[in-house]
Amino acid sequence: MENLKKSQFKHFISLGYFCSIAQDLEKLGLRDKSYPFDWCITDLEKNIELINNNFESILDMDLLSQDKEIPHHYRNDKYDFYFFHDFNSEETLKDQLQNVKDKYKRRIKGFYKDIEEPTLFIRYISPEKINSEGKPLELIYIEENHSHILDTLKRFNPKNEIIYITNIGFQSEVIKVFNVSNDDGDIVSRSPL
């Protein structure tokens, strides 16, 4: 990772799937600020859709559902986008939504501004949904849509790139993946970088 600090990239941005990418970028001194995907659980296909539509309806109140078990967790049902760190359980959604919208408006504005400069995006491939052969459905999506994903990211700057991290045992003959060991008792590595 030391080489990344001296690389051709101006920004290093997490595309999720969960918080550990942003946390590790912070630890390594590679994170400029908070971006929209940093502290959420997300689906890559929906992330690409959000990037292409300016995060349309991401915090539309009618699309947000509250987790019954953990009341400060909310999900945007359209984008399968989980907010785990933005809401509290003491206030109603209506009472706190504007503050969260303002925060994400800043994050989204900074995201679009920064990705106009050379950016390395990092995505941890979700191991949650697996096909009958034991391959993550998200990895299959990436293999089938790699050009579309790159076109989306390079539309802002032709030097933008993406790297994919996945658990040991998941391979691809289509894209390069970096394998990490998931933590004991967990489906992911909590410190993949």
Going by pLDDT thresholds of 50, 70 and 90, the confidence category of residue 190 is confident
- List of residues 6+ apart from 44 with CB closer than 8 A: 15, 16, 17, 123, 125, 126, 138, 141, 142, 149
Q: What is the DSSP string of 50-94?
A: HHHTTTTTTT-GGGEEE-SSSTT-EEETTTTEEESSS--SSS-HH
Prior bond of 104 cis (ω within 30°): no
Going by pLDDT thresholds of 50, 70 and 90, the confidence category of residue 192 is confident
Residue 123: closest CA among 79, 176, 167, 164: 164
Rounded CA Rg of the chain: 17
- The pLDDT tens digits for 107-116 are 999 999 999 9
pLDDT at 54: 98
pLDDT at 80: 96
pLDDT at 189: 77
Residue 39 near residue 85, CB atoms below 8 Å: yes
The C-alpha atoms of residue 146 and residue 193 are separated, in whole angstroms, by 22
Residue 13 has pLDDT above 70, yes or no: yes
- The pLDDT tens digits for 17-42 are 999 999 999 999 999 999 999 999 99
Q: Please enumerate, as own/partner, the contacts of 115-118 that have beta carbons within 8 Å and a separation of 24 or more.
A: 115/11, 115/13, 115/153, 115/156, 115/157, 115/160, 116/156, 116/157, 117/10, 117/11, 117/157, 118/8, 118/9, 118/10, 118/11, 118/157, 118/159, 118/160
Share the mean pLDDT of the chain. Answer: 94
Residue 160 has pLDDT above 90, yes or no: yes
pLDDT at 186: 77
pLDDT at 188: 76
Residue 5 has pLDDT above 70, yes or no: no
Q: Quick one: which H or E segment has residue 12?
A: strand 11-14
